[in-house]
Amino acid sequence: MAINILMPALSPTMTEGKLAKWHVKEGDKITSGQVLCEIETDKATMEVEAVDEGVIGKILVAEGTEAVQVNAPIAILVEEGEAVPAAPAAPAPAAKPAPQPAAPSSSPSPLVGEGRGGGAPAPAAVPAAPPTPTLPHKGGGSERIFASPLAKRIAADAGIDLAKVSGSGPHGRIVKADVEAARSAGTAKPAPKPSAAAPGPAPTAAQPVYPTGESRKVPHNSIRKVIAKRLTEAKQQIPHIYLTVDYEIDALLAARQAINAVGEKSKIKVSVNDMVIKACAQALRDHPEVNAAWTDTDMILNGTVDISVAVATDRGLITPIVRNADLKGVGRIATEMKDLAARARDGKLKLEEFQGGGFTISNMGMYGIKDFAAVINPPQACILAVGAGEQRVVVREGQMVIRTIMSCTLSADHRIVDGSVGAQFLQTLKGYIEQPAAMLL
Q: Is 170 in the site for another protein (CB under 8 A)?
A: yes
Taking a C-beta distance cutoff of 8 angstroms, is the pair 407, 245 a contact? Answer: yes
Looking at 149, 186, 208, 211, which residue binds another protein (CB under 8 A)?
149
Residue count of the chain, please give it.
441
Looking at 157, 264, 346, 418, which residue binds another protein (CB under 8 A)?
157
Looking at 85, 115, 141, 169, which residue binds another protein (CB under 8 A)?
169
Taking a C-beta distance cutoff of 8 angstroms, is the pair 305, 324 a contact? Answer: yes
Q: Is 166 in the site for another protein (CB under 8 A)?
A: no
Which residues are designated catalytic?
A: 414
Q: Is 154 in the site for another protein (CB under 8 A)?
A: yes
Helix axis angle for 330-345 and 250-263, nearest 10°, is 90
Classify residue 27 by its DSSP letter: T
Q: Is 176 in the site for another protein (CB under 8 A)?
A: yes
Residues in a beta bridge with 387: none
Looking at 103, 175, 312, 417, which residue binds another protein (CB under 8 A)?
175
Classify residue 221 by its DSSP letter: P
Side-chain-facing half-sphere of 310: CA atoms under 13 Å: 27
Q: How far is the CB of 9 from another protein (least distance, A)?
A: 26
Q: What is the 3-state secondary structure (H, E, C) of 374-430?
A: CCCCCCECEEEEEEEEEEEEEEECCEEEEEEEEEEEEEEECCCCCHHHHHHHHHHHH
Q: How far apart are CA 96 and CA 98, in angstroms?
A: 6
Looking at 138, 153, 220, 370, which residue binds another protein (CB under 8 A)?
153
Q: How far is the CB of 161 from another protein (least distance, A)?
A: 18
Q: Is 82 in the site for another protein (CB under 8 A)?
A: no
Cβ proximity to another protein: between 131 and 167 the closer is: 167
Q: How far apart are CA 221 and CA 198, in angstroms?
A: 15
Binding window for another protein (CB under 8 A); candidates: 116-124, 152-160, 240-248, 430-438:
152-160
Cβ proximity to another protein: between 172 and 347 the closer is: 172
Looking at 150, 342, 401, 438, which residue binds another protein (CB under 8 A)?
150
Binding footprint of another protein on the chain (CB under 8 A): 148-151, 153-154, 157, 168-170, 172, 175-176
